[in-house]
Structure 1
Amino acid sequence: MSMKIEIWSDIACPWCFIGKRRFEKALEKFEHKDQIDVQWRSYQLDPSLPAHYDGTETEYLSQMKGMPQDQVRQMFAHVTEQAEGEGLAYDFDKIVVANSFTAHRFLHLAKAHDLDAQAKEALLSGHFEHGEDIGDVEYLVRTGVVLGLDEAEIREALEGDRYTEDVQADIAEARALGVTGVPFFVLDRKYGISGAQPTESFSQALAQAWAERNPLTMLSGNNDDGATCGPDGCN
């Protein structure tokens, strides 16, 4: 039986892409990786953001956090450096600031076709590396078609309100679990990991969660023939 790992994240979250890479490195090395069921869940850092923000990412965060723009740029430099360490090429000057709700609905459509992991990767890369507008239906349609989704189905879903309740349900569940920031990883509904932790931390968490759901059962015979050795010698 597979072990479920749920990951709450936002496409507009730079640490979510970094965390995705670090988690994937840990999962790739995990001996039971073929029995892990990864599920991507929706979360919005700023639901109040308009469909499109008339300004740069620097201006947006400066305004939202009440920070000087120079301080925001320093923060971007640090995040960019961390991203580079994971093979990602962030370009904050290109980022188009947009509400991510429609993009999350698109991800749920992709999930219905077992393409959510590929869609998540494409949108994160598009947003942080290529300056794509994740709030633009035309961009989402192009991305979906490349992934193999039907153009008519994408348009019908995004131009209506399809998957709105699914996105809202994900966000509500995150709130019920006490999630206040992303990325947030839930392993087997037992362990929560907040943030883009080092790969080693994800590896340790995977091993611990797996061991607890698959404990070793000791079998003993009916006689004393099973000799063993220990710190004090053998018997």
Structure 2
Amino acid sequence: MTAHLKIDFVSDVSCPWCVIGLKSLEQALERASDATTAEIHFQPFELNPQMGPEGQDLAEHIAEKYGSTPEDMQRNREGIRDRGAALGFTFNMEKRSRIYNTFDAHRLLHWAESEGRQLQLKQALFSAYFTDGRDPSDREVLIDVARQVGLDPDGARQVLESGQFTDEVRQIEQRYGQLGIRAVPSVIVNDKYLIQGGQPVEVFEQALRKIAAEPK
């Protein structure tokens, strides 16, 4: 008999380790399908909530925020690209030159959950930014990505232009902040167990099997 798990995946669409974490989690769920099924809910987290609409040069931003040298950045890029490739995801580092505000993307993801297409939109937003180098703060880009995954583009436009779900997303962000979430990805299973970071598939699988085996 398989156990059904509720998974809250707290992340930002501009976080490369969130891509790695999601791909690892998905593969772990496939491996552990004999023991568990899961329902994934994507929860908002902004790495740069004060980022202006023009964005910022990525290398400049990383140097300012983390104190990274060009050599550090190159090593990190190579490590992320290799981890992604091993999981079947393409990071085109040369296409991603700026960091952007992601609040509108989170509002759209909130809406997409009610439409039953949240996972597909999350995956497509990751690909749009990290593989294709598109701007996730551009509303026309967001509407196009929504259309690509089968969401109503007129509905997406209405959400974005009306400011719908602004309060709801802010409240969710605040709630996770109050729970102590300071870094992403943060994977919360059954409102009880926290797995942080872009862990390997094996780590996720072991954790999921252990949680699934616990008595109800």
Normalised by the length of structure 2, the TM-score is: 0.92
**Runs of 5+ consecutive residues of structure 2 not aligned to the other structure:** none
For residue 171 of structure 2, give the secondary structure of its aligned residue in structure 1.
helix
Instruction: Give 2:154's aligned residue.
Output: 152
Match of 1:39 among 38, 41, 54: 41
Q: Percent identity?
A: 30
Instruction: Give 1:51's aligned residue.
Output: 53
For residue 93 of structure 1, give the secondary structure of its aligned residue in structure 2.
helix
For residue 94 of structure 2, give the secondary structure of its aligned residue in structure 1.
coil
Please say if residues 56 and 100 of structure 2, whose CA atoms lie closer than 8 Å, have aligned partners that are also in contact: no
Match of 2:101 among 99, 102, 107: 99
Please say if residues 12 and 44 of structure 2, whose CA atoms lie closer than 8 Å, have aligned partners that are also in contact: yes
Distance 1:114 1:32, change over 3 A: farther
Deviations 1:74-118 (A, max 9, x none): 221221122121122212221142101111111111111010000
Instruction: Give 2:83's aligned residue.
Output: 82
Please say if residues 13 and 125 of structure 2, whose CA atoms lie closer than 8 Å, have aligned partners that are also in contact: yes
**Partner Cα distance (2:10, 2:187) in 1:** 6
Alignment of 1:58-73 (within 5 A): 58-73=59-74
For residue 60 of structure 1, give the secondary structure of its aligned residue in structure 2.
helix
Question: Counterpart amino acid of 1:47?
Answer: P
Please say if residues 52 and 97 of structure 1, whose CA atoms lie closer than 8 Å, have aligned partners that are also in contact: no
Instruction: Give 1:114's aligned residue.
Output: 116
Say which one has the larger Rg. 1
Instruction: Give 1:15's aligned residue.
Output: 17
Please say if residues 35 and 209 of structure 2, whose CA atoms lie closer than 8 Å, have aligned partners that are also in contact: no
Distance 1:115 1:70, change over 3 A: same
Question: Counterpart amino acid of 1:82?
Answer: R
Alignment of 1:199-218 (within 5 A): 199-214=201-216
Deviations 1:48-85 (A, max 9, x none): 11122242x22221122232233222221221122121
Runs of 4+ in structure 1 displaced over 4 angstroms?
Answer: none
Residue 20 of structure 1, CA deviation: 0.6
Match of 1:188 among 187, 190, 202: 190
**Partner Cα distance (2:148, 2:94) in 1:** 26
For residue 2 of structure 1, give the secondary structure of its aligned residue in structure 2.
strand
**Runs of 5+ consecutive residues of structure 1 not aligned to the other structure:** 215-235
For residue 41 of structure 1, give the secondary structure of its aligned residue in structure 2.
strand
Please say if residues 4 and 212 of structure 2, whose CA atoms lie closer than 8 Å, have aligned partners that are also in contact: no
How many residue pairs were aligned?
212
Instruction: Give 1:231's aligned residue.
Output: none
**Partner Cα distance (1:54, 1:28) in 2:** 38
Instruction: Give 1:221's aligned residue.
Output: none
**Partner Cα distance (1:130, 1:14) in 2:** 14
Deviations 1:144-196 (A, max 9, x none): 11222222211111012111122212211211221111010111112100101
**Partner Cα distance (2:153, 2:125) in 1:** 17
Instruction: Give 1:165's aligned residue.
Output: 167
Question: Counterpart amino acid of 1:25?
Answer: Q
Question: Counterpart amino acid of 1:158?
Answer: L
**Partner Cα distance (1:169, 1:29) in 2:** 35
